[in-house]
Amino acid sequence: MQVTETSAEGLKREFKILLAAKDIDEKMAGRLQELGSQVKVPGFRPGKVPLPVLKQRFGKSVMGEVLERAVNDSSSQAMTERGLRPALQPKIEITAFDEGKDLEYTLAVELLPEIEPADFTNLELERYVIKVEDSAVEETLRDLGSARKETKPLGKPRPAVSGDVLVIDFRGTVGGETYPGMEAEDHHLELGSSRFIEGFEEQLVGAKIGDTPTVKVTFPEAYANDRLSGKDAEFAVTVKDILESVPVEINDQLAVALGETDLESLKGKIRERIAGEYKDFARTRLKRQLLDGLAETHDFPVPEGMVDAEFESIWRQIEEDRKQDKLDEEDAEKSDDELKEDYRVIAERRVRLGLLISEVGRLNNIEVTQEEANKALLQEAQRHRGHEREVFEFYQRTPEAMANLRAPIFEDKVVDFIVDLAKVTERGMTLEELRIESEAEAAGGAGDKKKSAAKKSAAKKPAAKKPAAKKSAAKKSAGKSASKKTS
């Protein structure tokens, strides 16, 4: 085998590789002899078929397999001898070959960069310790009570409001004709529950006991009963009673209904759950700090092909967000060229962080154990109740999917390894203090995407009630490292 390097630019290398005809012939003979021990040829005992006969009968069909194996083996040998670590599948092109002659092909490969991890003992991180306040426990209890509300007669007469339960008789007609299911007596209907045809419940808001309103609605075009689809209908309604919904009382009885022994036990479980949510949030924030710190302290070239693939993945999400009108205002105002420039920076950051995490894991023998992988697979299967077997079989026959399942576990183990080495200080705070700080950070980071791909991943407020501003899915994932590339 003759290997000639024809190009070396950055992480890209190109080689011209020549395999002598005699080497190809030897591989061909070896494969034919292997085949001869397996096939039956009339007039010959198995394993005794002469090579010329085998070549005549199977030579053409075997040649492609032999060439593929020869190219794969020789290209792998060429890179191993030179200590090259490919970042992506090499590109191979056969430039010359004819039976009985030398095989010549080109090998183009993009290499993994040389990475020297920083001294992580100099990395300073801050871990939030968020106090679980009594008010958060009480708020959760109130939510539980509201979710298990009861009904009772009105204390004094008033018009019906959304959330009330009306006891009604109704009879509906379409073109003067009544169909099955369009009439009932003493039916309990919660206003605002959206259990009836759109517009029905809204027309009963403001009704009083004894009222007999006529409700006019239109059945949906895709209604289950074809005879009613898209038809206008009138319902004669009699309001017989109005019941108001009230939350159940927060007491031991509620706790028992929820599977606890008493109210204090329920409060303890709620506090534990909230504390777990806060801890998960604090870890996510700590991890983001760590990734930002790694991005700032490491600057090495990254394979262009990997960046291209990562950018294409992000851009597909951008286009999907655009179709669904989910782009945030900042991105919606930008041209495609501006967006591509911004997200190209994000793609490069994600690839660089992924490669760094992978290298730290490799250098420190960090691996995902089979037990950890099995646990993750079991959790994934449990997310698809009734289809567990299909999930297991899919991952067993799809190595790439299993690798994607292992990747976040590997990343978390590397993150934990680095955190253990870093200087981590703890900072206690309340949820309100966290909210104020998070909003300030989000406002201060706006418009500086090139400095940090995570600028829009402002702190998520655990157990908070205010809805977060709508973000595009691509922007939400911008601060994450490319986990799938670190396995």
**For 181-208, how does the pLDDT look when each residue is reduced to its tens digit (9 = 90+)?**
899 999 999 999 888 999 999 999 999 9
Asked if 299 and 354 sit in the same domain, the reply is yes
Say what the pTM is. 0.70
Question: Do β-strands 124-130 and 423-429 pair in parallel, antiparallel, or remain unpaired?
Answer: parallel
Asked if 402 and 453 sit in the same domain, the reply is yes
| 3 state DSSP class of 354 | helix
Decide if 145 is inside a domain: no
Q: Which residues on adjacent β-strands are paired with residue 171?
A: 183, 236
Decide if 352 is inside a domain: yes
Number of domains in the chain: 3
CATH of the domain at 16: 3.30.70.1050
Asked if 422 and 305 sit in the same domain, the reply is yes
CATH of the domain at 203: 3.10.50.40
Asked if 309 and 237 sit in the same domain, the reply is no
Asked if 291 and 396 sit in the same domain, the reply is yes
pLDDT exceeds 70 at position 473: no
Q: What is the largest CA-CA distance in the chain?
A: 105
Decide if 259 is inside a domain: no
Decide if 341 is inside a domain: yes
Short-list 420, 410, 411, 417, CA closest to 372: 410
Decide if 269 is inside a domain: no
User: What does the pLDDT average to over 247-274?
Assistant: 91
Asked if 190 and 310 sit in the same domain, the reply is no
Asked if 125 and 170 sit in the same domain, the reply is no
Tokens of 193: 């529950």
Residue 16's domain comprises 2-110
Helix 388-397 vs helix 399-421: angle between axes, to the nearest 10 degrees?
90
Average pLDDT, the chain: 85
Q: How far apart are CA 165 and CA 246, in angstroms?
A: 11
**What is the per-residue pLDDT for 30?**
77
Does the CA dihedral 403-406-412-413 come out positive or negative?
negative
Asked if 438 and 369 sit in the same domain, the reply is yes
Least confident of 66-70, 202-206, 259-263: 66-70
Asked if 155 and 124 sit in the same domain, the reply is no
CATH of the domain at 401: 1.10.3120.10
Decide if 214 is inside a domain: yes
**What is the per-residue pLDDT for 36?**
63
Q: Are 232 and 102 in contact (CB under 8 A)?
A: no
Asked if 196 and 307 sit in the same domain, the reply is no
Q: How far apart are CA 479 and CA 349, in angstroms?
A: 9
Q: How far apart are CA 65 and CA 51, in angstroms?
A: 17
pLDDT exceeds 70 at position 331: yes
**What is the per-residue pLDDT for 41?**
67
Q: Are 303 and 351 in contact (CB under 8 A)?
A: yes
pLDDT exceeds 80 at position 47: no
pLDDT exceeds 60 at position 481: no
Decide if 389 is inside a domain: yes
- Sole residue written with tokens 């420190």: 364
Q: Which residues contact 10 (CB under 8 A, 6 or more apart)?
A: 301
418 or 29, which is more confident?
A: 418
